[in-house]
Chain A
Amino acid sequence: MQIARETLLQSYRAMRTIRAFEERLHVEFATGEIPGFVHLYCGEEASAVGVCAHLTDNDTIASTHRGHGHCIAKGVDVGGMMAEIYGRQTGVCRGKGGSMHIADLSKGMLGANGIVGGGPPLICGAALSHKTLKDNGVAIAFYGDGASNEGFTLESLNLASVWKLPAVFVVEDNGYGEATGASYACAGTQKDRAAGFGMPYMECDGTDFFSVYESAREAIDYARSGKGPVMLHVHLSRWYGHFEGDAMTYRVAGEVAEQKEHHDCLKHFRERVTSAGLLEATALDDIDAAVADEVESSVIAAKAAPWPEDSALMADVYVKY
C-alpha cells in the first residue's frame, strides 16, 4: 500500500518525539526533580503512532498510566506535556494531574489513566457519542495485557458489541503487567476473548510501524463504517522498567538489549523507507535534530515555568457549585 510522504514524515516525527521525550524523562527522573510516578513508553512508539495516524482530532482515544506516547501521537502539545510532568502552571492540565493524567479533549485525548482498565469503559461512551451524534468519529481504547484482565475491560468488550459501537480495542501486549508475565496472568488468548464477544480480531507487530499502520487502518475503517467494534492485538516490548526505579529482575538479562538491537521501530522505519527510496536519510536526520531541539526546549521551559497559583487548589472541582 502507498503511504503518503507527508504521513511517513509525520509518523517518523511522532515516533522520534516519543522516543526523545521518554529518554529525556528517564535522565531527568534520575536527578530527582520529577515528582510522582513516571511510566515510560520507549520501545512501543509504533503502536501509538501507527494507530493514531488514521485519526483526526474528531476521533477519541483513551490511554493508560503509560500514556505519554499516546498523547504525543494524538497531537498533544509536547511543551505542555513536559510542563505538566514537572507540575507547572503551564502544563496541559495546569499541573494538577501530572504524568498519569495528561489529557486534552480538544485533541480527542480522553486522558492517560491511573486506573488500570479505566479506559475501555470510557471508550464505549465516547464511541456512543460518535455514533449518536453521527460525527463519523471512532473511539480507541489503548490498554495493556495486564488491563485485559480487569472485569470492566471485559464488560466493555461485551457492551461495545451489544451496542455495535464504532470502537477499537487496542491491546498493547508487552508481556508484563508490572513484574508479572502475561503468560502467567492472562488465561486463554486475546483472540479467543475477541471471539467470545463476537468481534473481529487482528494482530500486528508493534515494533514495526508498517505492520501496525496496515492493521489499524483495516480495524479503524471497519469500526468507522458502522460494523461494530474490533480488537487489535499489538505485540511489543517495553524498554524501561514498569516505572522509573524498577530494576526489572523478572526479565532475562539481554531481553531489552535484544529488543533494542533487532526490534527498534525507529531503526526499522529508517531502513525500510530509505532502502525503498520513500524518504531520504537527510529528511530523517533533519527531523531527529528538530525533535532533539523541541524536547530540549520543553525541559528548559518546564523548569523555568511558574508553579500553579494557590488559588488553583480550589478551582475546577466542579463547573459550578
Chain B
Amino acid sequence: MSKKSFRQAINEALRQEMRRDPRVILMGEDVAGGRGGTSGVKDAWGGVLGVTKGLLTEFGEDRVLDTPISEASYIGAAAGAAATGLRPVAELMFVDFIGSCLDQVLNQAAKFRYMFGGKARTPMVIRAMYGAGFNAAAQHSQSLYPLFTHIPGLKVVIPSSPYEAKGLLIEAIRDDDPVIFLENKVMYDEEEDVPDESYTIPFGEANLTREGEDVTIVAIGRMVGMANEAADRLEKQGITCTVIDPRTTSPFDEDTILECVEETGRLVVVDESSPRCNMACDISALVAERAFGALKAPIVRVVPPHTPVPFSTPLEKLYMPSAEKIEAAVKNVMKQHAREVA
C-alpha cells in the first residue's frame, strides 16, 4: 500500500495486467510517442498526459502500439482484435473524439455478441478522458457516459478515485465484454492509498462512501468527491447524507440506490453530463418508479445546463456542478420536507 495518483493507479493496473496476460495490448495516439521522430527517443510522451509512460519500455512496440490519427480504424481494429483473440486496451484520448469512430463502438463492438447469437466475445477496453473544468472548451470537455450507457452491449465505468481506478480497470481488462473506461482529466494528480498488488472491483456494485440519515446523494465520477465535500459541510450543520458512487453506469446497481432512498426518503443526484437523458434522469426515473412511496420531497438533480461546455473560466465555473451547488441542493430538499410537515 502506498500513496498513488490517479495517473499512477491506472498505469499500474495496465502494467500488472500486461504482465499477467500476454494477450493484453495497448494502442492509441502517442500512448508511447516518439516513433518517426528525429531524436530516436522512444516513449517520448507515454500518453498525452503521461498515463501510459514506461509501458513501452517494459512491453515493447509489439504490445504498445502508437497509431496514426485514425480513430475509426484503430478503435475498429481493437474490436476486431478482441473478437479474434487479443485483449486490447485502446486509448481514445479525449472522449469527445468518439465522434470520429462511433460506428465501430455503436454498431460493431457493442452488438457482436447479441447479433452473433452469443458466439462472440469482445474483450476490449476503450480508455478516454472526460469532464469539464480544464478550460478545454466545447470539443474537449464533454462527459459522454450517458451516450455509452444508452447502448446495450457496452459496459461503462467511471472511477471516482485512484483506488477505484486501479481495481475497476483491472476488472475491465479481465471482462469479456467491451468496456468504456472514463477518466476525469482533472483528477490525474489526486492521490490516495492504493494497494501495490493487483485487485479487482466488481462491476454493478455501488460503493457507499458515507452513510447518513437525511439525504441520499448519488454522484458519478469526479462528482463523488464534491458530494463528500458537501456532505462534510452539511454534517457540521446537522444534516447527514449517504453518498453513493455507482462506479459503473452499465451494469447499474439499482438496489443500493433504492435501499438508501427507502431509508433517507430524499434524493439528490449529481451528474456532470448534459442534463437531457443523462444518468440523473435515469436514476430519478428509477426512484420515481420503484421508491415513490419513500420520497419525502421531490428529487433534486445537480447537473449542468443544456449547453456545450464554455471556454471562459467564469462561464465554465457557472456551468459545472460544485460542492456549493450540491450543498444548496441538499438544503433545498430538506426545506421542502420541513414545509410539508409544517
Residues of chain A having any CB pair with chain B under 8 Å: 35-37, 87-88, 93, 95-98, 100-101, 113-117, 146-147, 149-152, 176-186, 249-253, 255, 307-308, 310, 312-314, 317
Tell whether, in the assembled complex, residue B139 and residue A185 are in contact, meaning their CB atoms are under 8 Å apart: no
Which of B67, B307, B315 counts the most A-chain CB atoms under 10 A from its CB?
B315
Identify B137's interface contact among A101, A176, A177, CB under 8 A.
Answer: A101
How far is it, in angstroms, between the C-alpha of A307 and the C-alpha of B36 when the chains are bound? 43
How far is it, in angstroms, between the C-alpha of A250 and the C-alpha of B139 when the chains are bound? 27
Chain B interface residue count, CB cutoff 8 Å, equals 45
**12 A-B contacts, Cβ less than 8 Å apart?**
A87-B312, A96-B315, A98-B311, A115-B139, A117-B69, A149-B69, A151-B72, A179-B34, A179-B44, A181-B35, A184-B36, A313-B315
Contacts of B268-282 to chain A: CB distance below 8 A: none
Tell whether, in the assembled complex, residue A95 and residue B312 are in contact, meaning their CB atoms are under 8 Å apart: yes
Is B41 an interface residue, CB under 8 A from the partner? Answer: yes
How far is it, in angstroms, between the C-alpha of A113 and the C-alpha of B307 when the chains are bound? 18
Instruction: For B34, list chain A residues within 8 Å (CB).
Output: 179-180, 249-250
Tell whether, in the assembled complex, residue B313 and residue A180 are in contact, meaning their CB atoms are under 8 Å apart: no
Is B30 an interface residue, CB under 8 A from the partner? Answer: yes
Instruction: For B306, list chain A residues within 8 Å (CB).
Output: 317
Instruction: For A251, list chain B residues within 8 Å (CB).
Output: 37-39
Tell whether, in the assembled complex, residue B318 and residue A310 are in contact, meaning their CB atoms are under 8 Å apart: yes
Residues of chain B having any CB pair with chain A under 8 Å: 29-30, 33-41, 44-45, 48, 66-73, 96-97, 99-100, 134-140, 305-308, 310-315, 318-319
How far is it, in angstroms, between the C-alpha of A113 and the C-alpha of B96 when the chains are bound? 13
Tell whether, in the assembled complex, residue A36 and residue B311 are in contact, meaning their CB atoms are under 8 Å apart: yes
Instruction: For A255, list chain B residues within 8 Å (CB).
Output: 38-39
Tell whether, in the assembled complex, residue B39 and residue A249 are in contact, meaning their CB atoms are under 8 Å apart: yes
Tell whether, in the assembled complex, residue A116 and residue B69 are in contact, meaning their CB atoms are under 8 Å apart: yes
Residue of B nearest to A148 (CB): B69
The 8 closest A-B pairs by CB, nearest first: A181-B36, A184-B36, A250-B37, A114-B139, A179-B33, A35-B135, A87-B312, A98-B311
Report the minimum CB–CB distance from A170 to chain B (whole Å).
Answer: 17
Identify B68's interface contact among A185, A307, A312, CB under 8 A.
Answer: A185
Tell whether, in the assembled complex, residue A307 and residue B312 are in contact, meaning their CB atoms are under 8 Å apart: yes
Tell whether, in the assembled complex, residue A97 and residue B39 are in contact, meaning their CB atoms are under 8 Å apart: no
Tell whether, in the assembled complex, residue B318 and residue A250 are in contact, meaning their CB atoms are under 8 Å apart: no
Report the minimum CB–CB distance from B152 to chain A (whole Å).
Answer: 26
Tell whether, in the assembled complex, residue A313 and residue B39 are in contact, meaning their CB atoms are under 8 Å apart: no
Residue of A nearest to B70 (CB): A149
Tell whether, in the assembled complex, residue A96 and residue B310 are in contact, meaning their CB atoms are under 8 Å apart: yes
Instruction: For A182, list chain B residues within 8 Å (CB).
Output: 36
Tell whether, in the assembled complex, residue B45 and residue A178 are in contact, meaning their CB atoms are under 8 Å apart: yes
Instruction: For A149, list chain B residues within 8 Å (CB).
Output: 68-70
Instruction: For B315, list chain A residues within 8 Å (CB).
Output: 87, 95-96, 307-308, 310, 312-313
Tell whether, in the assembled complex, residue B33 and residue A100 are in contact, meaning their CB atoms are under 8 Å apart: no
Report the minimum CB–CB distance from B33 to chain A (whole Å).
Answer: 3
Report the minimum CB–CB distance from B99 to chain A (whole Å).
Answer: 7
How far is it, in angstroms, between the C-alpha of A151 and the C-alpha of B100 when the chains are bound? 8
A176 with B138: in contact, given A307-B313, A313-B310 (CB under 8 Å)? Answer: no
Tell whether, in the assembled complex, residue A317 and residue B29 are in contact, meaning their CB atoms are under 8 Å apart: no
Tell whether, in the assembled complex, residue A178 and residue B29 are in contact, meaning their CB atoms are under 8 Å apart: yes
Report the minimum CB–CB distance from B188 to chain A (whole Å).
Answer: 14
Residue of A nearest to B306 (CB): A317
Report the minimum CB–CB distance from A259 to chain B (whole Å).
Answer: 11
Instruction: For A37, list chain B residues within 8 Å (CB).
Output: 136, 140
Instruction: For A114, list chain B residues within 8 Å (CB).
Output: 96, 137-140
A186 with B139: in contact, given A178-B48, A250-B38 (CB under 8 Å)? Answer: no
How far is it, in angstroms, between the C-alpha of A260 and the C-alpha of B148 when the chains are bound? 47
Instruction: For B140, list chain A residues within 8 Å (CB).
Output: 37, 100, 114
How far is it, in angstroms, between the C-alpha of A184 and the C-alpha of B33 when the chains are bound? 11
Tell whether, in the assembled complex, residue A180 and residue B311 are in contact, meaning their CB atoms are under 8 Å apart: no
Residue of A nearest to B29 (CB): A178
Tell whether, in the assembled complex, residue B69 and residue A87 are in contact, meaning their CB atoms are under 8 Å apart: no
Tell whether, in the assembled complex, residue A117 and residue B318 are in contact, meaning their CB atoms are under 8 Å apart: no
How far is it, in angstroms, between the C-alpha of A151 and the C-alpha of B35 when the chains are bound? 21
How far is it, in angstroms, between the C-alpha of A306 and the C-alpha of B45 when the chains are bound? 37
How far is it, in angstroms, between the C-alpha of A96 and the C-alpha of B316 when the chains are bound? 9
